[in-house]
Each structure stands twice: as C-alpha cells, then as structure tokens.
Chain A
C-alpha cells in the first residue's frame, strides 16, 4: 500500500514523514516522527493522554487523521521545555507532585498549556474544565489542578509558595 507524505511543524521544527493513509496522528508522531511524549491510552477519545496542540488548540492525536495534519503547527510536551530549564507548567507539576506514574502527564500539560495560553489567570473551575477530557488514575486531580494554578501564578509573578 502506498504511503502518503505529510509535512508539518513539530515543536518548531519542519518535519516530514510517510504514513499509511488511515493512520492516526498519535502513531505517526510516535513511530514516524519519533516524538514519544504523547501516549496511547484508549484510541477512542476518552482518556486525553494523547493531547497535543494543533495551531494552538488542544486536539486528541489518536482521533486525528495523520494526513489531515498537513501544514499544521503541532506542539507536544516533548517540545515544552525551552531548554535545560523547565516550562513553568512542568516546574509546577514537578514541585507539586502532580505526576505519579506520569502516563497522563503529557496530555495534562498540553491541556493546561492550551488553557493558560488563552486564559493566563484561570479560576479553579476553569482549570477543572480545561482538564475535563484528561483522565488520571493515580496522581489524583487535586495536585494537578493545584499545579496548573501554581504555574499560572508563577507566570504572572504571583508566586506565593
């Protein structure tokens, strides 16, 4: 079966891959583009572990057709840290014990980033709503919500801790 070429920007880098036409973007990113940060948890849109940003908006990569990502601007947790230093969200998750097994963390971080990019000073309810499509089974949601609020505060220079 002939493969289809797809080109997009992945965490700022021009990327080109060849995929089977029916392949989802999660598998394409992981197997073909080598970005293993989005995770497979369900393949049906219930867990959110594969959440990425496409053109700044949160998307579930497992439910995105890879060939439809042509020319898209894709961001993943793999590209979140600017360098040796962590992104404020990552730092807040680390400091606040907001990741236990870590499997939902990539998706949580991307869902949180989508929120903070649009709404830098969210309320607690808005944070809860922002991660309402992301399931966590071991950390518990409270530390995650706290960490996202903490990250927002850090960015705003309202660090209290």
Chain B
C-alpha cells in the first residue's frame, strides 16, 4: 500500500520515485479513492519548498507555497485575486502553487494567472521551462517542480476572473487571466489565458493578436472576444457543456477586459 518518503533536500527530490505531496488537496483525494494508484508519496520538508523570495525584480514562489501564503504576501498582491478564487479557506491553507500547476480540468485556476504572467517553472534539478511549454507537456513530464519565477506586472495590469455556477464559491465553468501592457485604455500587448477551457490552462493567441493596439472599450475588444473561441478546446463536464462554455467565453472575456464584473 501507500508508502511515504520524506525528502529533506529539494535537490534530492529529483532522483526520487513517487507522487509529490503538495497540500494534499488533489493527491490525498487520489489516495483516499484509488490508493493502489499511489504507491509512493514524496513528502518534501525542505523549507525552501515553502518560501517566497525576491531577488531584484524576480520573485521566486516555492512550489509548496500555499494559496493562503500568496494572499498574505505583500509582494504578491497582484496574484491574491487568483489565490482567493481557489476553494474555501481550508483548501487555501493547504493547496499549493506546485499542485495547481498539475491540477487537472476543471481545477488549476491559479496556473491560469501564472500563464498570463508568463512565469518560468523551475525544476528541482535546476532546469527552468516556460510555463506554456510546461503546461503543454505536464501529463508526461517527469521531475519535481521546485518553484515558479515571475516578474511583478505593472499596477493593475493583471486581471483575473473566475466563473462559477454556485456563489460565493464553486468549481470553474472557466477562469480567465489577462495581462495587459499599455498606456491608459490603449493596449500595446496582451496575454490572454483561459482555464477549464481545455485539458490544461491555455492561451488564446487569436485574442491576444486582436487586442494588440486595440482600445479597451466595447468596440475595441469586440474582435478579441469573438476571436478567443478559436483557440479554446472545452469539454463537457458536470458543470457545463462544451457548447455552453464556447458560447459564454466571449462574454466573460469582455466583462473582464472592460471591468464589468
């Protein structure tokens, strides 16, 4: 049955075999329901795993940092809305940044914000990987994620929204994160990321392209909103059909872009 291995140095984790325990909100569910699929749990006790450190403009968020830590960190106020969108308070004091990177559909809303930010994923063996490449290959990649590296955006440049059917909290119908660089209402460049609209968080490059040079008003964002659907690959689940998700994605993107929420 399930064995637990304690790893005191992150560097040593790269050689270990098993499932890494972050906050347990996903892995323990699997242990509870299908224990035979989790023969080995790797429990990392290295303090670096749970630390937020700043070097120059770059902020390193340990993979074991919880959503509650994100919310409490004065350096990461731009990520607090995304962290608050994850579960209730108990889940947030457990769920980790690293776990969210691997969270299957329809979970993983925090990773959507990291995708919009263009974070770098740092593996325990020292490699770094762009988050987009990481998400595209996460089902097959091997190794232990040690941290994510980000640069803080300009004030209010990152917008995050989560659509749920139950209030105040629920699982994603979709989540959207948009990083906008520009002056006033005119957009120079945008990164648009969607969650729960495909097997993993994904960018809509069509929407980004349409937003470049646009003005943030109803007319200015219309093309981007209409275009976003072409990049999305939603599935049917208990929360919403793929059809419904496609239909409402442009509306929710518009609301986020225009601050209509």
Contacts and interface: CB of A to CB of B under 8 A. Distances in A.
A134 B93 contact: no
Nearest to A50: B90
Interface string B79-108: 000000001111101100000000000000
A132 B4 contact: no
Contact of B21 (A43, A68, A115): A68
B1 A60 contact: no
Interface residues of A, number: 31
Question: Secondary structure at chain A's binding surface: helix, strand, loop or mixed?
Answer: mixed
A22 B94 contact: no
A45 B31 CA distance: 13
A62 B68 contact: no
A109 interface: no
B28 A64 contact: yes
Contacts of B152: none
A65 B29 contact: no
B169 interface: yes
Given A51-B90, A130-B89, A44 B38 contact: no
Given A22-B41, A65-B4, A58 B28 contact: no
Nearest to A55: B93
A20 interface: yes
Question: Secondary structure at chain B's binding surface: helix, strand, loop or mixed?
Answer: mixed
Nearest to A2: B3
Interface string A115-133: 1000000000000111111
A63 to B, nearest CB: 4
A86 B43 CA distance: 38
Contact of B87 (A24, A62, A64, A133): A133
Residue with the greatest number of chain A CB neighbours at <10 A, chosen from B24, B38, B41, B89: B89
Interface of B: 1-4, 21, 23-25, 28-29, 31-33, 35, 38, 41, 43, 68, 87-91, 93-94, 168-169
Interface of A: 1, 4, 20-22, 24, 43-45, 48, 51, 57-60, 62-65, 67-68, 111, 114-115, 128-134
29 contacts: A1-B1, A4-B4, A21-B1, A22-B1, A22-B4, A22-B35, A22-B38, A24-B28, A24-B31, A43-B29, A43-B33, A44-B32, A44-B33, A57-B93, A58-B88, A58-B90, A59-B90, A59-B94, A60-B91, A63-B24, A64-B94, A67-B4, A67-B43, A68-B21, A111-B90, A128-B168, A129-B88, A130-B88, A133-B89
